Structure 1
């Protein structure tokens, strides 16, 4: 499976409409890839919480509509990162916004929707403003393979990935807006999730600075063995990787550690 990871850089000065058009063109340039992946909240920004209410959109709003057209044009699956979704009605905690990922088929049809389960902010930011998701979500990939969906802060909670593993995941797809000052954790945890679950790992982080936070970049593609196949730096970049998902099953057979699980 040929994967393009678009590590997008932006700042607070770029209007969201212009950024959408720029992103659409970047995705369009990835024709020939089976899957194109974008970072978390690249429209609303990951840390400028004051913008979220104004930039919220319905699930099938302008971002999904625009990128669905691009997916059709290039015939690729597109993981659009995430948006601030305006929920049709308040959730169980009474909030009407969510951090929501959508995966589009090569025909531009939504094939998976994931709402971020673990909200970052320790009572402020996401926990204060957003409803938490509650569903384990997987999506089918070309070749009959299965991916598990999660977002950014979810990466710190290994039990989520065990649940995805048990749901058939062979690869984890993780968009993020992870800051530079904790980027070593980002790299380490991604590799750990790959090794402990014998799953491939594809992550797409943000670059640039927004909301006063310098972002960490270092998007990476990791094999199920833990080998880092590609890693970006701090700046905007596109990683293009031929990922052999058939190698996941071969590695699990060669080194059958998962068969020894007791808990």
Structure 2
């Protein structure tokens, strides 16, 4: 499977509408180059732009849904469209959207672990409760978002649900870049799964973003890593490598808890 990670720069001088249209064009440009395209967390508003969450919140089938559905259909790709601020039932959620190549919604995931330590996202957004996987050609993907990366139990649950590929969109701060790359590799090694970790670039709400999106194989080797600026990573994933790794070093079979 050919995968593209589009590391979006969230520029505060660019309107949400302009960025949405620009990102849709970038997705369409992957037509013929990828079967799977991944975008970062909250690339519409910025993961740290808390003051904009209420104003920019949208229903599940809002403007970002419509734009990304059309882009996935035009590019004929599976599209993990990153996440949006979803307004539902009087609450806000950090919700990821996955579209099939025909533009249909294949899965959505509400972020379970909210970042902020009793402020920001942690108090403004409700927590998701469901582990979510989605079947892609040759691989089952497990969905997680940013801060989730620090909680290995979630990923064990995804592996138990059949995940061979872990997709983690993020808006990770540059000051903790070392944790980002370390945790992405750790989740790959301990779960013997591919990890596609797609972050944002630029600076928004005064917080410099880490960038450095990366793809890690089931043995923990980094197949590709971006720099700090807007960039597209393109890699080829071999589903057989997950099976081979788990058979050659069957650590998952020795789990007790």
Q: Same fold (TM over 0.5)?
A: yes
Instruction: Tell me how far apart the structure 1 counterparts of residues 143 and 253 of structure 2 sit (CA, whole Å).
Output: 23
Work out which of the residue numbers 199, 206, 214 in structure 1 matches 2:193: 199
TM-score (norm 1): 0.96
SS of 2:82's equivalent in the other structure is: coil
CA deviation vs aligned residue, 1:109-166 (integer Å, no higher than 9, x gap)? 00101000000000000111001000000000112x2110000000000000000010
4+ residue segments displaced more than 6 Å: none
Partner of 2:109: 114
1:51-200 alignment, distance < 5 Å: 51-87=52-88, 89-90=89-90, 96-143=91-138, 145-200=139-194
Partner of 1:249: 243
SS of 2:19's equivalent in the other structure is: helix
Per-residue deviation, 1:201: 0.4
CA deviation vs aligned residue, 1:57-105 (integer Å, no higher than 9, x gap)? 0001110101111111111011000000011x13xxxxx1100001000
Partner of 2:47: 46
TM-score (norm 2): 0.98
For this pair of structures, how many residues does the alignment match?
256
How much is the aligned-residue C-alpha RMSD, in angstroms? Answer: 0.7
Instruction: Tell me how far apart the structure 2 counterparts of residues 132 and 196 of structure 1 sit (CA, whole Å).
Output: 25
Partner of 1:25: 25
Matched, 1:208 2:209: no
SS of 2:227's equivalent in the other structure is: coil
Segments of structure 1 that go 5 or more residues without pairing to the other structure are: 91-95
Per-residue deviation, 1:13: 1.2
SS of 2:85's equivalent in the other structure is: strand
Instruction: Tell me how far apart the structure 2 counterparts of residues 73 and 8 of structure 1 sit (CA, whole Å).
Output: 20
SS of 1:59's equivalent in the other structure is: coil
CA deviation vs aligned residue, 1:14-73 (integer Å, no higher than 9, x gap)? 110100011011111111211001000000210010001111000011101011111111
Per-residue deviation, 1:10: 2.3
SS of 1:4's equivalent in the other structure is: strand
SS of 1:102's equivalent in the other structure is: strand
Instruction: Tell me how far apart the structure 1 counterparts of residues 166 and 239 of structure 2 sit (CA, whole Å).
Output: 11
Per-residue deviation, 1:246: 1.6
Work out which of the residue numbers 225, 236, 242 in structure 2 matches 1:231: 225
SS of 2:44's equivalent in the other structure is: coil
Instruction: Tell me how far apart the structure 2 counterparts of residues 223 and 28 of structure 1 sit (CA, whole Å).
Output: 26
Query: Residues 43 and 83 of structure 1 are in contact (CA less than 8 Å); yes or no, is this contact kept in structure 2?
Result: yes
